[in-house]
Amino acid sequence: MEMNAAKVLIDGPSELVFDYAIPESLGEVAVGCRVRIPLRNRNSTGTVLEVGPAPQTNFTLRPLHSLIDPEPLITPNLMKLGKWLSEYYGTPMEQVMRALLPESVRQDAHSEKTRKVVVLESMPDEEALEKLKKRAPKQHVILTLVKAAAGQISLADLGGGSVTASVKSLEKKGFVSLKSEAVRRDPDQDQEFMETSPLKLNAEQEVALTEILKEPKEGETKKPILLHGVTGSGKTEVYLQAVQHHVDQGKSALILVPEISLTPQTVQRFKSRFAALQDQVAVLHSHLSQGERFDEWHRIRKGEAKIVIGARSAIFAPLKNLGIIVVDEEHENTYKQETSPRYHGRDIAVLRAHLESCCIVLGSATPSLETYQNTLKGKYTLLNMTQRVDNQTMPIIRVMDMKIEAQKQKGRLAILSDKLRVSMEAKLKEGEQVILFLNRRGFARALQCPPCGHVCECQHCAIPLTYHRGDERLICHMCGYQTITPNKCPACGDKAIKLQGYGTEKVEEVIRKVFPQSRIARIDTDTMRRKNALRDTLAKFKAKKIDIIIGTQMIAKGLHFPNVTLVGILNADLGLHVPDFRAGERTFQLITQVAGRAGRGELEGEVVIQTFTPHSPSIQFARHHDYVGYAEQELQFRGQFGYPPFTHVAMLGTRSTHERRAEFTLQNLHKRLKANLPAQIEMGEPMPSPLTKAHGQYRYQLMLKSNSARGLSQYVARVLKQTPPPEDVIVVFDMDAMSFF
């Protein structure tokens, strides 16, 4: 009888795949099963990639030791997704497995949390109970408490170790039993969710929902749907009702959000709508503890949770019978993973929907040009929602030229224009709320010496250190390096050294002086370190206990506060003048999204944009809420220069603590790539990255473009395999790159 064998991917940093014989005693071993295997002189763990006839060899295959889980943890469709991801992004399968199976699931160190419970088996008669009260009063109290608690109570509630002996005595008499019970670590256990009912849809929402729920014709597959709705048009209500429809049919749903900051409000909306099914809503994101992630992941795998909400990694949630995937704010860069495997959550979601034969909805007020181009080509279905719900009007947007404001304020640092300050006074007087947006944290962006020009820079990165007054430190926002603030110039010793620019911390100080009676909160990664700090701050803002919020992009999108009538964008130019062909698109999206936080209730909204480049197309198209006009112009530029969405762009980079080694390695790779470069691939020259040094490593990069992403990825992977780098050089290949720094 021919023995079957399993190809097993070994857990660990190396990409090891070994064949193992499957002993009959293990029964059926399927692809995706977790197994224990002998590896040299120790036991290890791994994941089964393939099962088939044992290969013909001159030696006997070692057998699998045991199954960790009798059922596969990775579904067949997820395994297909992982293999595609590995090939497309040129990533080793081991790293893909780390994405498919989170660390809390892979490692034996994490397991179910259990507690001991005392269960009532039978009550003694009155006479026996009276005797027990006299002879063993503690046992009598325990029986009384267990009975009062409906026949079951935790050992901890009875007193823990101090009553264990009494409980065991009762157990011997047959009155109680001591059992272990799994305890769910619920990330929202201290939250209460009030049930909400579906809202009445307007005409545009009805059309969108009907199209989303429409079944494809026999033999056809449903196209991905782009739901292009202006901010406040009620996209979330459409998502909720579409998810409700699929859950009612016994299917599951996956909702992806780009930022953890959006997760609390999204979870609140869904758990309130599905209050009767609250235990069926699971959450997956990086702020969960390992125990919470373990519990949520296994609830999803067992089918106990039918609705999953999470950030990009949630795309690998082991949902069965998937009915719909929603990718909210699909344009966001945060869907792109910046460490290996460097996948894009939106693109993987589209592929997973195809593999699962389910509906996928990509929602945004400012769709990415890649997605919008797919609708123009007919690959995706476009649904437009052009009106805000309840006849709300789009906010009035005013653009303030800060060059003029700087002249007015005679050289002083112009943080608030006169127009923004006057508007804030008026809104606060009426009891309305204000959001101020600045995508730079800290107090000042740099510390510079005017006499000699010296700027205090990070020792490990080629960027200035940011001054944080709260910590009285200079901090690198790239690697986290900190140092004390000098009182004189480190280069020339002059005491005239002074702060340049401003961040959210400085803005908070100014606003507290200008509006001393107002209640103010700052939302950035410095203030939101404590678990649930963001959720609590947003809850206070919603309850009108905060008048002004100052924040970074954590508050830029998706949040809904009806009493916010004014949004101030303090420096709209921050991301505009960087060496990245997407800089204009990102600025347009960010301004439009932040502006969309105003006027979402009954009151009219106003937005004030402060900028030094008021005539930029990104700012002017955003001012007029004209996405289509901006997209047409930008697509024309992209087409002329051969940039996405008309081609695929990849970045090949080298990093090393030795600058010359990083440079030489990339030059060598460039020469080898150029030797047999396919005609459809266009390649640039190796050069230093715009951010020449980060985390103590010098960085060099070159850009590659091609119409065939898979052809480009496979060619580069083949050359990289033939050209191993020196030990102290890291080579990074990023397919469909979103960052060029």
In a domain, 192, yes or no: no
571 shares a domain with 433: yes
Total count of domains within the chain? 6
The DSSP symbol for 188 reads T
Q: Which amino acid is located at 166 in the chain?
A: S
Q: Are strands 697-706 and 648-656 parallel, antiparallel or unpaired?
A: antiparallel
Contacts of 614 by beta carbon, 8 Å cutoff, 6+ apart: 399, 400, 401, 620
Q: Which residue has the tokens 């459809």?
A: 680
226 shares a domain with 350: yes
**Average pLDDT value over all residues in the chain:** 88
638-668, pLDDT tens digit by residue?
Answer: 999 999 999 999 999 999 999 999 999 999 9
- From 571, 605, 638, give the residue that closes a domain: 638
Strand partners for 228: 364, 384
In a domain, 310, yes or no: yes
User: Is 674's pLDDT higher than 80?
Assistant: yes
461 shares a domain with 377: no
Strand partners for 173: none
Contact 120, 173 (CB under 8 A): no
The pLDDT value given to residue 124:
79
Q: Are strands 498-500 and 322-328 parallel, antiparallel or unpaired?
A: unpaired
Contact 571, 438 (CB under 8 A): yes
pLDDT mean over 199-213: 94
Q: Is the peptide bond before 72 cis (omega within 30 degrees of 0)?
A: no
User: Is 68's pLDDT higher than 90?
Assistant: no
In a domain, 195, yes or no: no
Helix (H, G, I), strand (E, B) or coil at 378: coil
In a domain, 686, yes or no: yes
Distances (CA, A) of 524 to 152, 298, 439, 539, 554: 45, 32, 9, 16, 7
121 shares a domain with 99: no
47 shares a domain with 126: no
Between 739 and 212, where is the model more confident?
212
390-412, pLDDT tens digit by residue?
Answer: 778 889 999 999 888 888 776 66
In a domain, 191, yes or no: no
526 shares a domain with 418: yes
Can you give the residue range of the structural domain that contains 147?
113-183
- Residue 233: alpha-carbon gap to chain centroid: 24
551 shares a domain with 402: yes
3-61, pLDDT tens digit by residue?
Answer: 788 888 888 766 688 899 998 888 888 888 888 999 888 888 888 888 888 887 778 88
In a domain, 643, yes or no: no
Environment class of 436 (CB within 10 Å of its CB; exposed 0-12, middle 13-18, buried 19+): buried
409 shares a domain with 556: yes
Q: What is the CATH number of the domain that holds 557?
A: 3.40.50.300
663 shares a domain with 520: no
The DSSP symbol for 336 reads B
The pLDDT value given to residue 703:
95
Report the 10 Å Cβ neighbour count for 43. 11
Question: Which range has the top average pLDDT, 305-309, 661-665, 690-694?
Answer: 661-665
- Give the DSSP H or E segment for 153: strand 152-154
> Lowest-confidence range among 100-114, 259-273, 390-404, 670-684?
100-114
Joined together, the tokens standing for residue 225 give 């749907």
User: Is 386's pLDDT higher than 70?
Assistant: yes
349 shares a domain with 254: yes
Q: What is the CATH number of the domain that holds 716?
A: 3.30.70.600
| CA–CA separation, 674 and 678 (whole Å) | 9
Contact 100, 49 (CB under 8 A): no
Report the 10 Å Cβ neighbour count for 21. 15
Spell out where 26-96 has E strands: 34-39, 42-53, 66-67
The pLDDT value given to residue 1:
47
The pLDDT value given to residue 557:
66
In a domain, 194, yes or no: no
Q: Which of 381, 385, 239, 201 is nearest to 323 (CA)?
A: 239
> Lowest-confidence range among 52-61, 197-206, 614-623?
52-61
The pLDDT value given to residue 218:
80
In a domain, 466, yes or no: yes
Between 148 and 547, where is the model more confident?
547
Joined together, the tokens standing for residue 741 give 């720094």
The pLDDT value given to residue 263:
65
90 shares a domain with 142: no
87 shares a domain with 58: yes
- From 71, 106, 141, give the residue that closes a domain: 106
pLDDT band at 183 (very low <50, low <70, confident <90, very high): low
Task: State residue 325 phi and psi, 5-degree precision.
Answer: -120, 130
Report the 10 Å Cβ neighbour count for 30. 15
- From 57, 78, 106, give the residue that closes a domain: 106
How many C-alpha atoms does 541 have within 13 Å on its Cβ side?
25
